[in-house]
Amino acid sequence: PIRTTPCILADTREISSGPEVISYLRTALGVKVEVCSLAGCDYIVSNRLAVERKSQSEFANAANRNKLVDRIQHLQHLFDRVCVVIEKDRVKPGETSRIFQRTRYYDSTLSALISAGVQVLFSSSQAETASLLKELALLEQRKNTAIDVPTEVKGHKQEAMQFYLSIPNVSYITALNLCHRFDSVAQMANSSVQVISDRAHMSAQKAEELYRYVHYMFEEEMVPPENPTK
C-alpha cells in the first residue's frame, strides 16, 4: 500500500480542551486533522479505532466514574477498538506539580479497562498525546484500516450523512464511508452484508447489524408514545 499522510478526525470540543494536540499533529507531525462534530468521541484514528483523551486527574476522580463508564460503553458500541490516553495534567506557570496519589479506584478502573480489551496509553503532555495519535494512525494504516475517504461532505450528501448518523451504532467515520462509497442511500439499502462490509470498511458483524436495521419491519405499536415535553 502507498504511504500517505495519515488522517485523523478530532471532535470540535478538542479545540478548546486539547489545542496543542491538534496544532502539534498538524504542524510538527504533518498529520491531516479534520475537526468535526463527533458527538461523544474525542478522536477517530481509523475506520475502527476511537481514542478517548482523559487527563490523569479527571481519570482518577471517582466522581467521574459513571461518566467514564457511559462514555466507554458508548464507544464500544460504535467502534471495534477503543483506546484511552491518560494524559498528565498541565502544570500552570507558578504552580508546583502536584504529586499524583494513586488510589484503589484508579487501579481497579485500569484493571477493568484492560480486562475489557480497551487499550490504555499514558502520556505526559499534549505533544506526546499527539505523537501517540500519529503512531496509532500509522499502525492502523499498516493494517489497511486507515481513513481513506474525503472528510468533507458536500451538497445533498449532507442529508444522507445525517440519515446514516441516526442509525444506532453507526460512527461518524462509518457514516462518512457509507456516504462516499455508495452512489445512493437506496443502493446501500439494497446491498448484501458482504458488499456493505467491503465497501464501507465495516466488520462483518457491524455490517450485519446495519443490514438488519435497514430490513427491520417497523411496527407502530412498538414505539413509545411521544414525550410531550420534548
For another protein, the binding residues (CB under 8 A) are: 69, 72-73, 76-77, 102, 104, 107-108, 110-116, 118-122, 124, 128, 135-136, 139, 156-157, 159-160, 162-163, 166-168, 184-186, 189-190, 213-220, 222-224, 226
Cβ neighbors of 16 (< 8 A, separation 6 or more) are none
CA distance 100 to 108: 16
Cβ neighbors of 32 (< 8 A, separation 6 or more) are 5, 6, 7, 8, 26, 151
DSSP symbol at 166: T
Helix axes 104-115, 65-78, angle to 10 degrees: 10
CA atoms within 13 A on the CB side of 170: 25
Alpha-carbon 109 to chain mean position: 20
Residue 10 Cβ vs another protein, minimum distance, rounded to whole Å: 20
CA distance 82 to 121: 11
State residue 8 phi and psi, 5-degree precision: -130, 140
Residue 15 Cβ vs another protein, minimum distance, rounded to whole Å: 25
Residue 203 Cβ vs another protein, minimum distance, rounded to whole Å: 13
Cβ proximity of 51 and 133 under 8 Å: yes
Residue 89 Cβ vs another protein, minimum distance, rounded to whole Å: 16
- Enter the C-alpha cell of residue 229: 415535553
Cβ proximity of 181 and 149 under 8 Å: yes
Residue 193 Cβ vs another protein, minimum distance, rounded to whole Å: 13
